[in-house]
């Protein structure tokens, strides 16, 4: 995407731009993996539930995966009966169950107590499974690790093994990784499942291997293809994967302008018209965003800071080939996942306007107004 040619077409800053050409490229690549392996693909909409994204994604996937009533309602609207809808969540609400359960084709209960409680309320046409914690950790950062000690995510594999519940259900759901760039975690996880349950897996209808794999960054897909093929051959299972970040992260850009520059304790600070509150993972997980244009001969250092009064509203220190000045435009890349969905209006600063870019054309998708802010904080 040529930002030099389109930045003058952006009327509202900061701006979030979704590159739909790149999104379709990601989908085509993933569809190829589906064809070679025989797996089924669900888009995990928690990464970016933008309707434009869901509409583009729908023809390339077998359905959507969701975690709440609102996500399920939105996904159901877009699917319109053309695709499956899978849900797993530790936070199922009894007051929402009558509205939620009819929307779902598959549900993976997060605990045995949740399974028993909601099963008693009645499930008609939904395929029932359990989310399992295989007790295998592949991440050094516990904040991302679904299998961390005292995890809230999934039934302990030993607990399931000791029970007879595997004979009662239709499928199992597992998710052990985050941003993995090889298939070793899922290979080890499946090996543990085979060791524990063996031929009992043949009594199931499906196995959901979750998400957390950056397929575009993995060069050799043959181990994954072999794994899926073996599972299907040995146990006659439908095998699902549910990528989220892998589909949308490299399609998103945050475009921002410099509002002010000044020296603080010997370093120059550039205040931007955006904020880490527009991409909270910068603050939550100390993620340093990448600038879209690499700076050659970078001799000038600037601390890029957001516009809110939060002292830690800092993107980090970056190097530039020439000094920044007020009015300069900067572009952060690879911000498609977990940015807009977590963004907030702290200090009353507006959310980024949303644009789509396709075939060299920029189109405004959504711009927020004061009325949206006031409505958020006003009585109905």
Structural domains for the chain: 3-17+249-376 (2.40.37.10), 38-243 (3.20.20.10)
Q: Give, for 337, the enclosing helix (H) or strand (E).
A: none
The answer to whether 211 and 338 are in contact (CB under 8 A) is: no
Higher pLDDT, 125 or 203: 203
CA distance 189 to 202: 17
Smallest CA-to-CA distance from 40 within 193, 200, 197, 232 is with 232
- pLDDT above 80 (res 4): no
Of 15-24, 119-128, 235-244, the range with the lowest mean pLDDT is 119-128
CA angle 261, 264, 269 (to 5 degrees): 35
Confidence bin at 2 (pLDDT 50/70/90): confident
Q: Tell me the pairing of strands 329-333 and 300-305.
A: unpaired
Q: What is the pLDDT of residue 330?
A: 96
The answer to whether 316 and 288 are in contact (CB under 8 A) is: yes
Q: What is the pLDDT of residue 146?
A: 92
Place of tokens 């904080």: 377
Both tokens assigned to 317: 């220190």
Smallest CA-to-CA distance from 116 within 55, 60, 164, 65 is with 164
Confidence bin at 301 (pLDDT 50/70/90): very high
- pLDDT above 90 (res 216): no
Confidence bin at 83 (pLDDT 50/70/90): very high
Both tokens assigned to 51: 């309707």
Confidence bin at 268 (pLDDT 50/70/90): very high
Q: What is the pLDDT of residues 305-364, one digit of tens each?
A: 999 999 999 999 999 999 999 999 999 999 999 999 999 999 999 999 999 999 889 999
Q: Tell me the pairing of strands 40-44 and 238-241.
A: parallel
CA distance 320 to 330: 11
CA distance 177 to 182: 10
Percent of the chain with pLDDT over 90: 87
Average pLDDT over residues 91-118: 95
The answer to whether 72 and 88 are in contact (CB under 8 A) is: no
Q: What is the pLDDT of residues 163-189, one digit of tens each?
A: 989 999 999 999 998 888 899 999 999
- 84 Cβ contact partners less than 8 Å away, ≥ 6 residues apart: 40, 42, 62, 63, 105, 106
The answer to whether 119 and 94 are in contact (CB under 8 A) is: no
How would DSSP label each residue in 257-272? EEEEEEEETTEEEEEE
Beta bridge partners of 19: 357
CA distance 166 to 183: 26
Q: What is the pLDDT of residues 64-73, one digit of tens each?
A: 999 999 999 9
CA distance 87 to 102: 12
The answer to whether 174 and 208 are in contact (CB under 8 A) is: yes
CA distance 266 to 251: 36
Q: What is the DSSP letter of 296?
A: T
SS3 207: strand
Residues in the chain: 380
Percent of the chain with pLDDT over 70: 100
Q: What is the pLDDT of residue 233?
A: 94
Count of other CB atoms within 10 angstroms of residue 184: 12
CA angle 346, 280, 139 (to 5 degrees): 160
SS3 330: strand
Instruction: Give whole-number Cα distances, 164 to 31, 167, 173, 197, 366, in Å.
Output: 36, 6, 17, 11, 50
Q: What is the mean pLDDT of the chain?
A: 94
Q: What is the pLDDT of residue 13?
A: 95
Rg, Å, the chain Cα set: 23
Confidence bin at 123 (pLDDT 50/70/90): confident
- pLDDT above 90 (res 3): no
Q: What is the pLDDT of residue 23?
A: 97
SS3 127: strand
The answer to whether 364 and 355 are in contact (CB under 8 A) is: yes
- 116 Cβ contact partners less than 8 Å away, ≥ 6 residues apart: none
Smallest CA-to-CA distance from 240 within 32, 67, 38, 55 is with 38
């Amino acid at each position: 995407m040529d930002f030099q040619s389109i930045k003058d077409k952006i009327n509202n800053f900061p701006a979030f731009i979704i590159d739909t050409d790149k999104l379709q490229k990601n989908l085509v690549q993933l569809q190829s993996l589906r064809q070679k392996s025989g797996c089924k693909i669900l888009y995990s909409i928690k990464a970016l539930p933008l309707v434009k994204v869901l509409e583009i994604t729908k023809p390339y996937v077998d359905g959507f995966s969701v975690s709440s009533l609102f996500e399920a309602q939105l996904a159901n609207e877009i699917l319109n009966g053309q695709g499956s809808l899978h849900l797993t969540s530790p936070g199922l609400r009894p007051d929402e169950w009558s509205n939620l359960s009819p929307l779902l084709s598959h549900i993976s209960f997060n605990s045995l107590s949740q399974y028993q409680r909601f099963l008693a309320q009645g499930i008609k046409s939904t395929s029932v499974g359990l989310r399992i914690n295989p007790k295998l950790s592949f991440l050094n950062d516990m904040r991302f690790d679904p299998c961390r000690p005292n995890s809230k995510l999934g039934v302990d594999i030993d607990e399931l093994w000791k029970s007879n519940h595997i004979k009662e259900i239709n499928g199992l759901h597992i998710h052990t990784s985050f941003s993995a760039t090889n298939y070793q975690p899922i290979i080890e996880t499946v090996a543990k499942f085979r060791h524990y349950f063996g031929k009992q897996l043949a009594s199931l209808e499906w196995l959901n291997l979750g998400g957390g794999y950056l397929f575009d960054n993995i060069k050799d897909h043959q181990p994954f293809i072999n794994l899926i093929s073996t599972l299907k051959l040995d146990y006659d299972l439908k095998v699902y994967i549910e990528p989220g970040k892998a589909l949308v992260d490299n399609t998103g850009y945050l475009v921002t302008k410099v509002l002010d520059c000044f020296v603080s304790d010997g370093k120059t600070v550039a205040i931007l018209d955006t904020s880490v509150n527009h991409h909270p993972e910068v603050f939550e997980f100390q993620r340093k965003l990448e600038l879209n244009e690499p700076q050659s001969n970078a001799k000038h250092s600037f601390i890029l800071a957001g516009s809110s009064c939060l002292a830690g509203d800092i993107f980090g220190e970056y190097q530039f080939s020439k000094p920044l000045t007020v009015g300069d435009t900067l572009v952060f890349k690879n911000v498609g996942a977990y940015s807009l969905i977590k963004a907030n209006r702290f200090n009353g600063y507006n959310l980024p306007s949303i644009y789509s870019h396709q075939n060299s054309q920029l189109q405004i998708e959504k711009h927020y107004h004061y009325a949206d802010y006031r409505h958020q904080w006003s009585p109905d």
